[in-house]
Amino acid sequence: MISTLQKTIRPMWAVRGLHKSAVEVLKCPAPEDTVTASFGKFISEIKPQHLSSVVLHRSKRMVLDSIGVGVIGSTTDVFELALQHCQHMYAPDDISSVYGRRGTRLSPTLAAFVNGVATHSMDFDDTWHPATHPSGAVLPAVLALSDMMPTNRKPSGLDFLLAFNVGLEIQGRLMRFSNEAHNIPKRFHPPSVVGTMGSAAACARLLSLDHSQCSHALAIAASLSGAPMANAATQSKPLHIGNASRLGLEAALLASRGLEASPLVLDAVAGVAGFSAFYEDYVPQPLKSPSGDSHMFLLEEQDIGFKRFPAHLGMHWVADAAASVHKLLVGVGPGTISPAQIQDIQLRVPKSKYINRPFPESEHEARHSFQFNACSALLDGEVTVQSFTPSAMSRPELLALLSRVHMEHPHDNPANFNRMYGEVQVTLAGGDILKGRCDTFYGHWRNPLTNESLRKKFRNNAGTVLPSEKVEKLIDVVDELDKHENCTSLLSQLQ
């Protein structure tokens, strides 16, 4: 009788010491009715048969592009710094492969980190809407976790792609709960927020965690999320993707060991911020579990954006607009562009502070500069990987053009990757005016790269490090990944 009474009154003593809003959290809603629980249930119950042919096709293109971007990213200074740090500060743990470094292996979480850094080191990775870089946060974690699994328990190619798509889906669903998230970010870098959640979800799926563990993995990941936009255009920005991949994997592994976290982290609870801390207008909705063999993935509704050159996505609009003016100038001139021909350059672009950089001083700033990318395209007819080398950035002709740039921010040009445009107006020395405008660049989800163009990009990127036979083998393996009994065929090509 005494023990029964103690069990009854002990929770009451605890409740008396809680803040009123926390008491309300304890009272309702029932765990199985929460947004957080619905996400956990979705992650645990989704099956390979729910992947349509369209989703499989699009996600395999994303995997191929992300690997290529990561491989060329392994040649950058920021990747080298991250790799040296991991090798010098942590004990050797030869489990998971590292992009572009044959024979180099790290622990799964550190491999996810450095490969994530490589993927975003040149800002060459894919972009979605609402704005985030979905693949870079998920693929390195799924690859590292697959490396970690015993040989007789490697996931099939289809299970690998399912986990990858779960990571994309969770990111897309979370961002659709906020109107703020639809615009070019100002406060938090989105991959450091939803990317960590997507990585955790993908890894929880690959680990076959139950619905409760999946919910906890998301809640743990929320405590490991967030990076400020102030570090955009610096060497630290790639760390956002690396950390998202690594920490999402860690969240799933911790949940698999039984670590618990808030059961309401994705719900809107007055007075107690969960995921709503990242978005001021966050209005979550439960995620329906798949019924039968049907589930409409967001990737089926909207394709992905692939970049043709390594820079912030917004740069592709002004680069294409400026390239069209370049063609006009070459047509009326000697075949090359001289600053002496140009009196003034007017850019009409969205207002976004961190990509307004009149005179960038580093490659990272240049990748986030409307002015630099417009002038590079105006001068050369295109923007390429080589446009961001020190020799290209310091050209007197380019610097002369930069000094003649002015910017306008029309009201009908919002900072939104689904609605913005780029317009370039050039006033010539004789007074003539040439204009170029881009509403949808080639590579945008409304105008996606062809398979031929995507494979050309992959060959150019991966070919900087890998031999041509391995490059071609990777193309073939990814194209047939959903038909492979296990993903060793992919993992072996990355060693």
Q: Could you read off the pLDDT of 343-367 as tens digits, one per residue?
A: 999 999 999 999 999 999 999 999 9
379 within 8 A of 371, measured Cβ to Cβ? no
Q: Where are the alpha helices (DSSP H) in 286-352?
A: 298-301, 315-332
Beta bridge partners of 344: 427
7 has pLDDT over 90: no
Percent above pLDDT 90 for the chain = 85
Percent above pLDDT 70 for the chain = 93
Q: How far apart are CA 373 and CA 402, in angstroms?
A: 10
Per-residue pLDDT averaged across 71-99, rounded?
Answer: 96
pLDDT computed for residue 331 by the predictor = 72
Q: How confident is the model at residue 91 (pLDDT cuts 50, 70, 90)?
A: confident
User: What are the domain boundaries of the chain?
Assistant: 35-307+478-492, 313-438
Q: How far apart are CA 230 and CA 227, in angstroms?
A: 9
Per-residue pLDDT averaged across 191-201, rounded?
Answer: 97
Q: Which CATH number fits domain 35-307+478-492: 1.20.1740.10, 1.10.4100.10, 1.10.760.10, 3.40.50.300?
A: 1.10.4100.10
pLDDT computed for residue 21 by the predictor = 46
Tokens of 15: 């409740």
176 within 8 A of 266, measured Cβ to Cβ? no
Q: Could you read off the pLDDT of 433-472 as tens digits, one per residue?
A: 999 999 999 999 999 999 999 999 999 999 999 999 999 9
Q: Could you read off the pLDDT of 415-431 as tens digits, one per residue?
A: 999 999 999 999 999 99
Q: How far apart are CA 485 and CA 359, in angstroms?
A: 52
End-to-end CA distance of the chain: 64
Length of the chain equals 495
pLDDT computed for residue 335 by the predictor = 64
pLDDT computed for residue 258 by the predictor = 98
Residue, of 206 and 13, whose pLDDT is higher: 206
CATH of span 313-438: 3.30.1330.120
The SS3 of residue 43 is helix
Q: How far apart are CA 37 and CA 68, in angstroms?
A: 36
Tokens 């997507």, located at residue: 198
Element (H, E) at 215: helix 211-222
pLDDT computed for residue 330 by the predictor = 87
Question: How far, rounded to the nearest angstrom, does the alpha carbon of residue 45 sit from its chain's CA centroid?
Answer: 25
Residue, of 361 and 336, whose pLDDT is higher: 361
Per-residue pLDDT averaged across 395-402, rounded?
Answer: 97
Q: How far apart are CA 130 and CA 278, in angstroms?
A: 14
Lowest-confidence range among 22-36, 126-140, 263-277? 22-36
Q: Which residues of 105-123 are buried (b: 16+ CB within 10 A; e: fewer)?
A: bbbbbbbbbbbbbbbbbbb
405 has pLDDT over 60: yes
Task: Provide the greatest CA pair distance for the chain.
Answer: 99
177 has pLDDT over 90: yes
1 has pLDDT over 80: no
Q: How far apart are CA 297 and CA 306, in angstroms?
A: 19
96 has pLDDT over 90: yes
Q: How far apart are CA 206 and CA 220, in angstroms?
A: 17
286 within 8 A of 277, measured Cβ to Cβ? no
Count CA within 13 A, CB hemisphere, residue 109.
14
Tokens 């075949």, located at residue: 335
Q: How far apart are CA 493 and CA 339, in angstroms?
A: 47
377 has pLDDT over 90: yes
Give the closest residue to 145 by CA, choosing from 119, 118, 164, 126.
Answer: 164
Tokens of 267: 């719900």
Q: Which residues contact 447 (CB under 8 A, 6 or more apart)?
A: 440, 441
Q: Where are the alpha helices (DSSP H) in 121-189?
A: 134-148, 157-175
Tell me the average pLDDT of the chain: 92
Residue type, 76: T
Per-residue pLDDT averaged across 217-228, rounded?
Answer: 96
Lowest-confidence range among 88-92, 236-240, 311-315? 88-92
6 has pLDDT over 80: no
Per-residue pLDDT averaged across 305-331, rounded?
Answer: 95
pLDDT computed for residue 4 by the predictor = 36
